[in-house]
Amino acid sequence: MYEILLGEYIKQERIKQGVTQEKLCEGICESITVSRMENGKQMPAYHRIRAFLQSLGLPDDRYFALLSKNELAIKTLEDEIRADIVRLQRAAPEDQPAIRAAGLKKLDKLEQLAEEGDKIIEQCILGERAALGRPDGSYSPEERLEMSKEALYKTAPQCDLEEINLGLYTYEETALLNQIAVAYEGMGQHKKAIDIYSQLLKYVKKHYSEMSRYAGKFSLISCNYALVLYRLGRYDEAIEVADMGRKTCVEYAHYQSLPGLLDIIGGCYFHKGDLERCKEYYRDAYALYRVTGTGFPLKRMQKKSWGWNSPFNTFYYRLLAFPPGLPAPT
């Protein structure tokens, strides 16, 4: 009875959004699978159900009763690998090899559990391998771009990067689109990166019915987008985008990207000559970096954007000396 209700729920939402069975299953499975699920005659594998729900912008984390033992093992590994990727992005260089090795080991285990020809799992593995890197270090932006595109097109072969709004995307696919934009930025192709970020923000905001479920993705895209604008000297636009992400973090209590967003806003105000507002945002950003144990991204951002000996850093370290009990990073 539970399975029939879930199939009916997906059918109702699909029809409400004007999505055909063929469109919903594109890159995931045959349309007959969707038809049987909606009629209560068949229940697809859990990861396919998640893909259907995510493509329709619906929450996907309420159906653990449908997990088999193997599916549970796969989901657990996927969650752990994603956590390793976040840790890797925050870690100091000396800590990265151990984190990367642990993530790659789990990725190899995930490959062993996956069924041959399962495009969704293949996509996950390739995308996460691009993010983790190889055993001896990160992939180049060009390599990450190629791997991320290959992963995306496994389940979204019709995706047009210039018209993202025409498609339906799972959480994994939006993550890959974000990775593609990051790779373009790393290659110096700022216009392409900005175009993808702009389209992604509009898609997530419009398409996902429960923003609380996707607030983390929205704020991360906002942070990446604002950082590109900042580096191009488009400070007013960067503030607008970063503040949109900041408000999302606060409203939905999802704080992972909040320090970075505050960091960018503070930098913009510094270059606009508004030092008082710069102080306000940088003190908040620094406090959050220290509380969450993610101080290294701040140092990495400063070094990449302005250089250690720049006037900005002189101001920045003077600023951080003001709050009592908060030592400046070394």
Tell me whether residue 273 is in a domain. yes
Signed CA dihedral, 256, 258, 261, 263: sign only: negative
Among 48, 45, 49, 66, CA closest to 10: 49
Chain-centre distance of CA 285, in angstroms? 20
What mean pLDDT value characterizes the chain? 81
- Give the number of other CB atoms < 10 A from CB of residue 290: 15
In this predicted structure, what is the pLDDT of residue 187? 95
Q: Is the overall model pTM greater than 0.95, yes or no?
A: no
Tell me whether residue 43 is in a domain. yes
**Structural domain for 50, as ranges:** 2-66
Q: Which of 14, 31, 66 is the last residue of a domain?
A: 66
> Number of structural domains, the chain?
2
Tally of CA atoms within 13 A in the half-sphere of 56 that contains its CB:
23
Tell me whether residue 74 is in a domain. no
Tell me whether residue 256 is in a domain. yes
Confirm if 176 and 54 have CB atoms less than 8 A apart. Answer: no
In this predicted structure, what is the pLDDT of residue 291? 77
Confirm if 10 and 38 have CB atoms less than 8 A apart. Answer: yes
Rounded CA-CA distance 304/261 in Å is 16
Answer yes or no: is pLDDT of 264 > 80: yes
In this predicted structure, what is the pLDDT of residue 316? 53
Rounded CA-CA distance 136/166 in Å is 39
Tell me whether residue 25 is in a domain. yes
Tell me whether residue 316 is in a domain. yes
219-244 pLDDT per residue, tens: 999 999 999 999 999 999 999 999 99
| Token code pair at residue 181 | 């934009």
In this predicted structure, what is the pLDDT of residue 175? 92
Q: Which of 66, 84, 113 is the last residue of a domain?
A: 66
Tell me whether residue 124 is in a domain. no
Q: Which of 39, 66, 93 is the last residue of a domain?
A: 66
Rounded to whole angstroms, what are the CA distances from 136 to 28, 133, 179? 33, 8, 20
Tell me whether residue 7 is in a domain. yes
Answer yes or no: is pLDDT of 89 > 50: yes
What average pLDDT does range 276-280 have in this prediction? Answer: 89
In this predicted structure, what is the pLDDT of residue 209? 57
101-138 pLDDT per residue, tens: 999 999 999 999 988 888 888 999 999 999 999 999 89
Confirm if 124 and 79 have CB atoms less than 8 A apart. Answer: no
Q: Is 137 helix (H, G, I), strand (E, B) or coil?
A: strand
Answer yes or no: is pLDDT of 210 > 70: no
Q: Is 115 helix (H, G, I), strand (E, B) or coil?
A: coil
CATH number for the domain spanning 57: value is 1.10.260.40
145-185 pLDDT per residue, tens: 999 999 999 999 889 999 998 888 888 899 999 999 999 99
Confirm if 284 and 243 have CB atoms less than 8 A apart. Answer: no
| Token code pair at residue 180 | 């593609």
Confirm if 257 and 244 have CB atoms less than 8 A apart. Answer: no
